[in-house]
Chains A and B, each alone.
Chain A
Amino acid sequence: MAGNGLAKKVRDTQVWKSIFRHGPPDNARNRAAVIAGNVFLHLHPIKLKKSGVQLGYTWCMGGLTFFIFLALTVTGLLLMFYYRPTAEYAFNDIIALREHVPLGIMREIHRWGAHAMVITVWIHMFRVFMTGSYKPPREFNWGIGVILLVLTLLLSFTGYLLPWDQLAIWAITVGSGMAKATPFMGNAGPGAMLARIGDFVMVSDKNDVRFQLLGGRFVGEPALLRFYILHCVFIPLVVGVLIAVHFWRVRKDGGISAPL
């Protein structure tokens, strides 16, 4: 066939051969080569038990979580081109994102994607529990997963402030108000009263954990900047590293769980 002839010609070019070191994955040797020779695909094992590829067993929720994380990274990067994290500009920039920028649904994809990621993480965890996949040898990886769950919630929480509208500021006021009540480390927590020498209060609203989180005594501009940095740089970096550990351990602990 002509198409085949053209395809063969393309495959025989030096450029194609320099990128793909093996033929089409239609035989055992090339199927192994395509997985092992590609930096992205080599997350996967070359072969795995049939139960591990059945959607009825895996629900694909962990993989979707990772995909949504990537999608959020991309849409988040695009949003950063138009957003300035200051009290003066933040809110107007969000409006501009909707009205002055083509494809005005970028923020929607980012926000709903964030919600979807929380849901997929929960369902993934539910599946892992119900199949007993946290049992030896995967105990440690379950712990990494729990930390990733917490970081997912924190990512979503820090992002909640950035639109700088009434919804954002009061949700964060309520949320960070709890940090104020941390035992011994928050100014309104148990034990903070005891940490005082005479008239000098050691744990006050100027040096407790809430102040560190917000960079101030209430949700203001320093809090916006801190949440922005946490949301865009710090937590994604930590999440990225932990995802690498998580996937690595899935492989090292014997791949996706299956009956022993």
Chain B
Amino acid sequence: MSDTKLALNRREFFSYVTVGWVMFSAACAGLGAMAFRFSYPNVNFDPEMEFLAGLPGDFPSGVDERFKATFGVWMVKQEGKLIALSNICTHLGCIPNWLPAELKFKCPCHGSGYYMSGINFEGPTPRPLERFKIGLQPDGKIKVDKTKVYRWEKGEWENPDSFLNV
């Protein structure tokens, strides 16, 4: 040993090993992150997020279920306000039913109940239904934009975009 000259001394050897391991771990982490990112597609073929809901005069007072099956929205007219209410239960994502006799939305999965306004009053759900952005187009038709969500518990139902005065 003594007559051969070592290319690396002990300390240098361990620092190279450390660098090597750090790089190996980083490469593994990078591959893992890429595989993870791979599971999120860039384009998603979701149903239409915006739709035209006709004229404000089309809606009588109460709950309108015309857009429930196609867009997942209840149009609710109450106290001079028209709102677009999401039909996704805030508990676990089932679809509640509108019970006209009892004037409430009732979720079949776990029994969460909501008033016509969307405020929760029974069952395990932690918060009210969500409202979507609703507004008038220049031609007077109602446009509902589901990409923008307004939540009661955050005080967002005061936002003028979350309802329509009719």
Q: A residues bordering B, Cβ < 8 Å? A: 170, 173-174, 176-178, 180, 188, 206-207, 211-212, 215-218, 222
Contact pick for B94, options A173, A178, A180, A222, CB 8 Å: A173
Tell me if A215 and B39 are in contact (CB < 8 A).
yes
Q: Which residues of B contact A217 (CB under 8 A)?
A: 44, 46
10 other A-B residue contacts (CB within 8 Å) besides A174-B109, A215-B39: A170-B94, A170-B109, A173-B94, A174-B92, A174-B94, A177-B92, A206-B44, A216-B44, A217-B44, A222-B44
Bound together, the chains give a CA A206 to CA B146 distance in angstroms of 14
Contacting residues, chain A, for B40 (C-beta < 8 A): 207, 211-212
Cβ contacts under 8 Å, B92 to chain A:
173-174, 177-178, 180
B136 to chain A, nearest CB (A): 23
- Chain A residues within an 8 Å CB radius of B109: 170, 174
Nearest neighbor of B110 in chain A, beta-carbon distance: A174
| Complex interface bits, B25-59 against A, C-beta within 8 A gives 1, otherwise 0 | 00000000000100111001010000000000000
Chain B hits for A207, CB < 8 A:
40
> B93: which of A180, A206, A215, A222 is its contact (CB, 8 Å)?
A180
CB nearest neighbor in B for A218: B93
- Chain B nearest CB: distance from A244 CB in Å? 23
Residues of chain B from 103 to 144 with CB closer than 8 A to chain A in the complex: 109
Q: How far is the CA of A211 from the CA of B36 in the complex (A)?
A: 12
Task: Give B residues with C-beta under 8 Å from A.
Answer: 36, 39-41, 44, 46, 90-94, 109
| Chain A residues, CB < 8 A from B91 | 177
Q: Identify the closest chain B residue to A171 (Cβ).
A: B109
A216 in complex: contacting residue of B46, B90, B93, B94, CB < 8 Å: B46
Contact of A177 among B41, B46, B93 (CB under 8 A): B93
Q: Is the CB of B39 within 8 A of A212?
A: yes
Query: Which residues in B have their C-beta under 8 angstroms from that of A178?
Result: 92
When the two chains form their complex, are residues B93 and A173 in contact, meaning their CB atoms are under 8 A apart?
yes
What are 22 pairs between A and B in contact, CB < 8 Å?
A: A170-B94, A174-B92, A174-B93, A174-B94, A177-B91, A177-B93, A177-B94, A178-B92, A180-B92, A180-B93, A206-B44, A207-B40, A211-B40, A212-B39, A215-B39, A215-B41, A216-B44, A216-B46, A217-B44, A217-B46, A218-B93, A222-B44
**What's the least CB distance linking A191 to chain B, in Å?**
15
Q: Which residues of B contact A216 (CB under 8 A)?
A: 44, 46
Min C-beta distance of B148 to chain A, whole Å: 11
| Closest residue of B by beta carbon distance from A175 | B92
Contacts of A170 in B (CB 8 A): 94, 109
Chain B proximity of A51: nearest CB distance (Å)? 45
Chain B residue contacts of A176, Cβ below 8 A: 93
Assembly CA distance A173 to B90 (angstroms): 12
Q: Smallest CB–CB gap between A189 and chain B, Å? A: 11
Q: Which residue of B lies closest to A173 (CB)?
A: B93
A244 to B122, CA, bound (A): 49
* Distance in Å: Cβ of B25 to nearest Cβ of chain A: 23
Q: Which residues from chain A contact B39 at a C-beta distance below 8 Å?
A: 212, 215
CA of A206 to CA of B40, assembled, Å = 8
* 9 nearest CB pairs, A to B: A177-B92, A177-B93, A212-B39, A174-B92, A173-B93, A174-B109, A216-B44, A207-B40, A173-B94
Per the bound structure, the CA–CA distance linking A215 and B41 in Å amounts to 8
Q: How far is the CB of A154 from chain B (nearest CB, A)?
A: 16
Please, which residue of chain A has its CB at the minimum distance from the CB of B39? A212
Smallest CB gap from A219: residue in B: B93
Compute how far the CA of A158 lies from the CA of B109 in the bound complex, rounded to whole angstroms: 20
Q: Which residues of B contact A188 (CB under 8 A)?
A: 90
